[in-house]
Structure 1
Amino acid sequence: MQVSQKGVALIKQFEGLRLSAYQDAVGVWTIGYGHTGADVRAGRTIDQAKAGQLLAADLARFEQGVTRLVAVDVSQDQFDALVCFSYNLGLGNLQSSTLLRLLNTGDYAGAAAQFPRWNRAGGQVLAGLTRRRLAEQSLFQSKGGA
């Protein structure tokens, strides 16, 4: 499965676009649409085209990861919500989450209820993360059906 334009728009909305490297809420060097990695360091700048390329490469990695981890059928909207969640938190957090455990047992409602629990960075509740998790939860619960 691939993330839809709706899912890409959600990621872009919450990640924002920054063409100069910056440290996120927990000190991770970030650039573009939330891209992180060894290639991001202080002083790095990119253009909008490069930001789009980084996003496409990152999305492919997260799409593959979500596909590998999810053992039940999901709708396009549910897939998009899971990719957005993982894009922000990492595949490791999805893999070890109660959200994924519940989802993989077929408890879609229980899985959906887990999204708001992931609203902290560095131990602090962040309003932006609360909004993002509620948006992901809403998308996951939308009537795209599984």
Structure 2
Amino acid sequence: MPGNAKPGRKTAAAGGAVAGAISALALMFSLTPDWEGRRLDPYQDIVGVWTVCDGQTRVEMRRYTPAECDAMSERAFRDHLAYVAQVSPGIERWPYQQAAHADLAYNIGKAAYRKSSVSALFNRGEYREACRAILKYRFAGGREVRGLILRRTGDAARIGDYEMCLGDAVEADLEARGAL
């Protein structure tokens, strides 16, 4: 599913949770690899964790082909999207939020996401606040990292988790307040 597919905001509402999951997966493919960077050979990340492909850490550390990386990333992205949907029920209705939350979980780990203020705020229906909380996750190894700041906020060429999350958080907030 790699590519530049950018589904419309209303996909989940119009097509149900399945279409929303497909949209969130396409969104993850347009977001996560850009920030992770692809390396076919294993390397140690900023905190010394062995990594390969698009940020894979729990696989055999060997050289992979682009097709193997694509397949591995798709499995990992689907897994993180499903996990986020389990931890933050209802998020699958909002593919932009789901993709941003799943990218965060992919980056910081599932357990950290489960305990995060991001998931807690989403689960309380504070959707915009949950998006803002993503901005706190800019540290690695106890120090602020420019690459993580950019991953959260975006740059001139790439959208960040926070911007992606806001893609439908305002609408979700308005709907929750009965304004839509």
Partners of 2:41 and 2:59 in 1: CA distance: 15
Rg bigger for which structure?
A: 2
State the identity %: 26
Check the 8 A contact 2:25/2:81 in 1, yes or no: no
Tell me the residue number matched to 1:99: 118
Q: What do you get for the CA RMSD once the two structures are aligned?
A: 1.5
Partners of 2:59 and 2:95 in 1: CA distance: 31
SS at match of 1:39: coil
Check the 8 A contact 2:40/2:65 in 1, yes or no: yes
Tell me the residue number matched to 1:16: 37
1:52-107 CA distance string (max 9 Å, x none): 11101111211111110012444111111111111111111110001111110001
Q: How many residues align?
A: 143
Matched, 1:59 2:80: no
The letter of the residue matching 1:92 is A
For structure 2, the residue ranges without an aligned partner over 5 or more in a row are: 1-20, 154-159, 173-180
1:84-134 CA distance string (max 9 Å, x none): 111111111110001111110001122111111100000010111001112
Tell me the residue number matched to 2:9: none
Partners of 1:112 and 1:49 in 2: CA distance: 32
For structure 1, the residue ranges without an aligned partner over 5 or more in a row are: none
94, 99, 108: which one aligns with 1:89: 108
Which structure shows the higher helix fraction? 2
Return the TM-score normalized by structure 1.
0.91
The letter of the residue matching 1:19 is L
Shift of 1:7: 2.3
Return the TM-score normalized by structure 2.
0.74
The letter of the residue matching 1:119 is R
Partners of 2:60 and 2:135 in 1: CA distance: 31
116, 125, 139: which one aligns with 2:135: 116
The letter of the residue matching 1:139 is M
SS at match of 1:139: helix
